[in-house]
């Protein structure tokens, strides 16, 4: 809801802090078309992408990764910034059919630091 701006909101910028999922907006610019009038509200979807290793928050050893993502949204007309945190729904990271292209899987697997890989033998599996 546009309660802080005395003018309609037409352009926003969005930024995420480093997070356990390495997510960042695919495009930081958000165009509100039509503009959100004073006192009015609007909806917009923001595509998230893997921001690469620079966007991954470090998780202390033995601690679970936090599902929380810290967000900043800036009104480009007024310069005001709104900060908030939201819990990220993990299921949003998966494709509905559960499939991942072979090349994408191999590329992701190869990008894992060798120090983080563990090897072991599993025995006594049911037939």
What are the pLDDT tens digits along the chain (127 aa)?
778 788 899 999 999 999 988 899 999 999 999 999 999 999 988 988 887 778 888 888 888 888 899 999 999 999 999 999 999 887 877 777 777 788 888 888 888 778 777 778 888 888 7
C-beta separation of 13 from 66 below 8 A = no
**Mean pLDDT of all residues belonging to the chain:** 87
How far apart CA 75 and CA 55 sit, in angstroms, is 23
C-beta separation of 75 from 9 below 8 A = yes
How far apart CA 25 and CA 21 sit, in angstroms, is 12
| pLDDT computed for residue 27 by the predictor | 94
Alpha-helical (H) ranges within 49-113 are: 102-110
| pLDDT computed for residue 96 by the predictor | 77
| pLDDT computed for residue 126 by the predictor | 84
pTM passes above 0.75: no
Burial class (CB in 10 A: 0-12, 13-18, 19+), 39: exposed
């Amino acid at each position: 809801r546009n309660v802080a701006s005395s003018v309609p909101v037409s352009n926003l910028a969005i930024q995420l802090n480093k997070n356990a999922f390495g997510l960042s907006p695919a495009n930081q610019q958000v165009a509100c078309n039509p503009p959100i009038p004073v006192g009015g509200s609007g909806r917009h979807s923001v595509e998230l992408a893997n921001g690469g290793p620079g966007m991954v928050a470090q998780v202390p050893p033995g601690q679970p990764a936090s599902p929380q993502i810290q967000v900043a949204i800036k009104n480009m007309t007024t310069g005001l910034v709104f900060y908030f945190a939201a819990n990220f729904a993990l299921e949003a990271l998966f494709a509905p059919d559960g499939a991942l292209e072979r090349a994408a899987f191999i590329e992701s697997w190869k990008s894992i630091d060798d120090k983080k890989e563990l090897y072991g033998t599993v025995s006594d599996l049911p037939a």
